[in-house]
Structure 1
């Protein structure tokens, strides 16, 4: 039988912020996959062609990344250890998606600030893995 220690209030603040952040990512996945008209209307021809050329495997990675991150965030708030491996899956699939976007499709040639969001998302992903690991070490997660 494992015991758990009540986490501090900032644990809950970070958990809620993680969930909101990842719900925003899931919303972006939904829009970019199922409601492309709204996005395509804002793009010039070159950007539109790049966006429409995103391979299926990269879209699947985006979906896995966002869904696993949302479920992991819920797990974090439910104080479950399984949140950490889901955050790791999310980060791995995000890296695959970003490698496609930044290096295979070469998005920075068409979208000038292409590195900002992937860098931010990567850093937040690493921090959430570290945070969930800390939660396991401190017995906040069981």
Structure 2
């Protein structure tokens, strides 16, 4: 089957979008002082209190999305599973950020944190649905 033009657009734009999350993840994990200097003291304390399982879920969320975008561009049906894993990673990390962390991300960063997390979740779900539709149409092998 011929690759529809929109697959290249969705794959390319999603890779750029997800690269932002990967950059944030890497700068935080590498404890890059120049990058982290933009955080307030309470935000920095929240980041420093992350449990290991949060970091694992965050990694699955970030790298699952990057992998999903790359697999979409490679026309691989495994893009569906990668986006699903990314969504599950986001859900698990959000449970800590908004439900377990004291203070929560909402308390430390305000409504922006919740709105941005919701936007990320919507994008991942849309990418998952798109990949699933492309797999069902036989575009992804």
What is the rounded CA distance, in whole Å, between the counterparts of 2:135 and 2:37 in structure 1? Answer: 45
Of residues 126-135 and 54-63 in structure 1, the stretch that sits farther from structure 2 once superposed is 54-63
Residue equivalent to 2:33:
37
| Residue 20 (1) aligns with residue 19 (2) | no
Residue equivalent to 1:115:
114
Structure 2 matches for 1:18-97, cutoff 5 A?
18-97=14-93
Residue equivalent to 2:4:
8
Residue equivalent to 1:131:
130
- CA shift, 1:45, in A, is 2.4
8 Å CA contact 1:102–1:114 kept in 2: the answer is: no
Of residues 34-43 and 21-30 in structure 1, the stretch that sits farther from structure 2 once superposed is 34-43
8 Å CA contact 2:28–2:36 kept in 1: the answer is: no
Structure 2 unmatched ranges of 5 or more:
none
- CA shift, 1:91, in A, is 0.6
What is the rounded CA distance, in whole Å, between the counterparts of 1:45 and 1:70 in structure 2? Answer: 30
8 Å CA contact 1:71–1:86 kept in 2: the answer is: yes
| Residue 140 (1) aligns with residue 139 (2) | yes
| Residue 104 (1) aligns with residue 114 (2) | no
Of residues 47-56 and 122-131 in structure 1, the stretch that sits farther from structure 2 once superposed is 47-56
3-state SS of paired residue (1:114): helix
What is the rounded CA distance, in whole Å, between the counterparts of 1:36 and 1:54 in structure 2? Answer: 16
Structure 1 unmatched ranges of 5 or more:
none
What is the rounded CA distance, in whole Å, between the counterparts of 2:90 and 2:5 in structure 1? Answer: 29
What is the rounded CA distance, in whole Å, between the counterparts of 2:18 and 2:39 in structure 1? Answer: 25
Q: Give the alignment's TM-score, normalised by structure 1.
A: 0.90
What is the rounded CA distance, in whole Å, between the counterparts of 1:102 and 1:109 in structure 2? Answer: 9
